[in-house]
Amino acid sequence: MNDSPGWAKPGSSPSDGERPGTESGAQQPAEPTPPAGDPKWSAEQPPPGQWSSPGTTPPEAPQAQPQPTTGWGPQPGTGAPQTGQYGPQYGYPGAPGQWGQPPAAKPGVIPLRPLGLGEILDGAVATMRTHWRAVLPITLVVATVVQVISVIVQKFMLDDLAFATDPNAGPEEIFDSLGSTFAASAVVQLIQVLGTIVVTAMLTMVFSRAVLGQHSSVSDAWREARPQLLRLIGLTLLMALGAILLGAVLILPGVLAESVGLAVLGFAVWLPLLVWLGIKFTLASPALMLEKSTVIKAFARSSKLVKDTWWRIFGITLLTTVIAFFISGMIVAPFQIISLFAFSGGLDAMADGSGMNSWGALIAPAIGLIIAQTIVMPFQSGVTVLLYVDQRIRREGLDLELARAAGLQNYGTTGG
């Protein structure tokens, strides 16, 4: 009988010469062979590996105490995986008698156990493929709205750059052009951030249901995400504000002192510190949405879950970002080429800045960005949510709660 809640096929037994509770490789006494025709022996004998001492009754395995279901919130008194849950198992299907871990329950897109890199990436893709009726409309609508607004902003805020088209432009014209460029970029980035927040909030709910094997609709995702939306906006803006203030403290003194070396040193300190804090709080968003917590508690939860696994989460996040970058580049590049040669007047026009804000030059790349964001945003959001789930399974035994929520009976009990 297994020590931990496994899902191995019934009937698997330890290999010959090995028994649960003994040292590996210890020799066991040979089983007695019933002599033919001896009346002291019963004609029907128990199968090998299940003998018990005469006159003794095998002790019953202790039953796991049921725990109250509290949803996605942190479980009281849980700071480590459940005892014996991921310990060694005896045998696995297809190879009886060898050491191994039986397959975990998989009610949804991931198995209910600590996840590997491939399982996290596959879970994100599987959710996009299986639950596309909820994922696709959310990302497509938000990406379209964001790009339409961005195109309009760029059209009416970005005239041809005066200092590029007019070689006799003075400092005032150059300053005005740069100011318009910065203002338009800031508005576009703000729109992108707000759109990303909405997508993240709704997709978090879709992925949380996909883990349980449950389907979501767009209306369900919106109804569940809406109460936490303002808090998610506050969390995102607080992170952005913190990054800006940190940069100002480290870089601004060198700029004000007109010291290039001091400014470069400040930037060299600011960038890795920003990355460290970004990974440290990368799980704050799913913690906020799924645990219905406050902004401060979400930051604290992310910090606790990431502790001692920073490099692993950094590596997975970096790989996800690189994959998303290449996917976006491959999709957007053809549209940018079309925009350049069909609507912008070619390389000469790009060099002098003329024709870059025509309707065609703005719309063509926007179409590519809509397609790219429709694919990339759910992939990145899914990886973040599954990282959160993985960390809670590893630290708090969340798989037990997920199994109960998915309707799996007796999951987590000895011999289950």
- Write the pLDDT tens digit of every residue in 40-58: 444 555 454 444 444 444 4
Please list, residue by residue across 319-349, b when 16 or more beta carbons sit within 10 angstroms of its beta carbon and e when fewer do. ebeeebeeebeebbeebbebbbeebbbeeeb
Sequence letter at residue 13: S
- Which tokens hold the place of 342? 């069909």
Residues 6 or more apart whose Cβ sits within 8 Å of residue 305: 283, 287, 388, 391, 392, 395
- DSSP annotation of 343 reads I
Query: What pLDDT is recorded for position 291?
Result: 94
- Contact, 90 vs 16, CB < 8 A? no
Query: What pLDDT is recorded for position 158?
Result: 60
Average pLDDT rounded to a whole number, residues 187-215: 88
Whole-number average pLDDT of the chain? 76
Query: What pLDDT is recorded for position 409?
Result: 77
In which band, very low, low, confident or very high, does the pLDDT at 7 lie, cut at 50, 70 and 90?
A: very low
Instruction: Tell whether the model's pLDDT for residue 184 goes beyond 60.
Output: yes
In terms of average pLDDT, the best of 18-32, 150-164, 177-191, 338-352 is: 177-191
Average pLDDT rounded to a whole number, residues 254-269: 90
Nearest to 106 by CA among 97, 95, 119, 118: 119
Instruction: Tell whether the model's pLDDT for residue 198 goes beyond 70.
Output: yes
Q: What are phi and psi of 170, to 5 degrees?
A: -90, 180
- Which tokens hold the place of 167? 């070689």
- DSSP annotation of 379 reads H
Residues 325-369 pLDDT 10s:
999 999 999 998 888 887 766 555 555 555 566 777 888 899 999
- Contact, 374 vs 56, CB < 8 A? no
How far is the C-alpha of 298 from the C-alpha of 300, rounded, in Å?
Answer: 5
Residues 99-122 pLDDT 10s:
445 577 889 999 999 999 999 999
Domain spans in the chain, listed from the N-terminal domain onward: 117-405
Residues 6 or more apart whose Cβ sits within 8 Å of residue 324: 376, 379, 380
Query: What pLDDT is recorded for position 329?
Result: 93
Query: What pLDDT is recorded for position 407?
Result: 85
Task: Indicate the helix (H) or strand (E) that contains 310.
Answer: helix 310-338
Average pLDDT rounded to a whole number, residues 217-225: 92
Considering only CA atoms, give the Rg of the chain. Answer: 30
